[in-house]
Amino acid sequence: MLALFQDPDVAAQAGEHVGGTTAVHPVGLAALLGLMALAVLAPRRWVGLPVILLLCFIPAAQRIVISTIDFTFIRLLMLAIWMRILVRRELRPLTWNHLDRVMVVWAVVSVIFGTVQGMTLSLLVNRLGASVDAMMIYFFFRLLIRDADDLILLAMQFMVSSFGVAVFFFIESRTQQNMFYVFGGVPQFTDIRDGRLRCQGAFAHAILAGCFWACLVPFYFARAWMGRGWIMPILGAGSALFIVAMCASSTPIMAVLFGVAGGAAFLLRGGLRWLRWLIFLWLCVLHFLLMKMPVWHLLARVDIVGGSTGWHRYHLVDKFIERFDEWWATGTLRTGHWGPGLHDVTNQFVAEGVAGGVWRLFLFCLAVWLGFAGVSRSLRMPGRPAAEKYIAWALGTALFMHCMNFIAVSYFEQIVVLWYMTLAAIASLTLVPGARVEQQIAEASVAPA
């Protein structure tokens, strides 16, 4: 679900292929080979660790280009992992649900409509590569996460990695230099906005770095909610919040606030449906009766740390709606003519429409809806253990945080992997529509504490 960028500088920052140049640092290559070996030799439950380490400590700009095809390090690592899965016969039968099916159809639509926009071979290769990556990552985590213990182990691996990431962010905040710049893809000198350093470490952008770690916090507390201790989740949340603070961006801070609200809403879960309708009705009142501007103009008013580009986000959504005739059929290759700076698509919902028309946007929203439906069905199913409901709520909270992020930023590079992992975990551990409940319960059982 990569955003479509038209400006070369923005595309380069996003890690998209713009020059067809191999960029491999010797340390990065050694790390990749070591992680590939670990992925092949490690026990099944630990195969996610090499992916986590690669995301956290190697910038996504590292890649090998062969015949104009980018083999990014995450793509190479996933190829090694899938080779292991096939050779060691770890490809287990899945209880397919509608979320699995929608993800496959979304990938196919992304290739078809993304290619129709320009009808060039390079565009076909780009869209096909992105879709194959999405399927490899999504179904890898779908196979890996068999029960709540698998999800909690992944969360603990992220948590321990976050301590190392926090150290690098602290060094960057003290020196104003990013130690990962030697790999390429990230700036040497830390960006400053309104006097605040926006640290990013190995991540593609400071905003995405903060959103990445903010959206992991619900997984940390899932361990505590299952009665396995509060010390590690608190330490992990503290590390994540430190990273968010070092990013000095409004969007990750808002993600944290939405996460707190989502977690606290567990106390109101019985009346959550009514709360959602009240919020919807209030937005309608604002839009039609109280506000002179459309309700999405509220985006222009969000500015927590100073210097936020809220007006740009509002303007993008406004023009996206106004220019419906340009993108609805197959998407569009250019948005820069919509207004100043609008080549930068900082909204995932807009990016989906731009990249594949209303069809890709519809499938994207359908995947989100199915995720929430799976969480809701798990909570309402009579006789479900409390531990499974806690896990479902943690997944729903993480999904909610991602959706709020989508309003202010489009995903690319490392955080895309986290997004697919979240969807895969929901497909494995909740009662997503489209499959027999008995089969899903048997597949998504919580191991005893």
pLDDT single digits (tens) 258-268: 999 999 998 88
* Residue 248, φ and ψ in degrees, nearest 5: 50, 50
Chain-centre distance of CA 159, in angstroms?
17
Quickly count helices (H) and strands (E) in the chain: 18, 4
Answer whether residue 4 shows pLDDT above 50: no
Scan for tokens 């590292």, then name that residue: 62
Out of 123-127, 133-137, 379-383, least confident range: 379-383
Answer whether residue 425 shows pLDDT above 90: yes
Query: Distance between CA atoms of 224 and 390, rounded to whole angstroms?
Result: 10
Q: Are 52 and 213 in contact (CB under 8 A)?
A: no
Answer whether residue 322 shows pLDDT above 50: yes
Query: Distance between CA atoms of 193 and 181, rounded to whole angstroms?
Result: 19
Q: What is the pLDDT of residue 444?
A: 67
Average pLDDT, the chain: 90
Answer whether residue 18 shows pLDDT above 70: no
Going by pLDDT thresholds of 50, 70 and 90, the confidence category of residue 403 is: very high
Structure letter (DSSP) for residue 156: H
Across residues 46-58, what is the average pLDDT? 97
Q: What is the pLDDT of residue 307?
A: 59
Cβ partners under 8 Å of residue 423, min gap 6: 99, 103, 138, 367, 371, 399
Reported as a single tens digit per residue, the pLDDT across 141-191 is: 999 999 999 999 999 999 999 999 999 999 999 999 999 999 988 999 999
For the chain, the structural domain boundaries read 8-86+96-273+345-443
Q: What is the pLDDT of residue 305?
A: 64
Answer whether residue 328 shows pLDDT above 60: yes
Going by pLDDT thresholds of 50, 70 and 90, the confidence category of residue 3 is: very low
Q: What is the pLDDT of residue 80?
A: 97
Query: Distance between CA atoms of 198 and 188, rounded to whole angstroms?
Result: 12
Reported as a single tens digit per residue, the pLDDT across 77-120 is: 999 999 999 999 999 889 999 999 999 999 999 999 999 988 89
Q: String of b and e for 305-339 (b: at least 16 CB within 10 Å)?
A: beebbbebbbbbbbbbeebeebbeebbbeebeebe
Out of 17-31, 83-97, 276-290, least confident range: 17-31
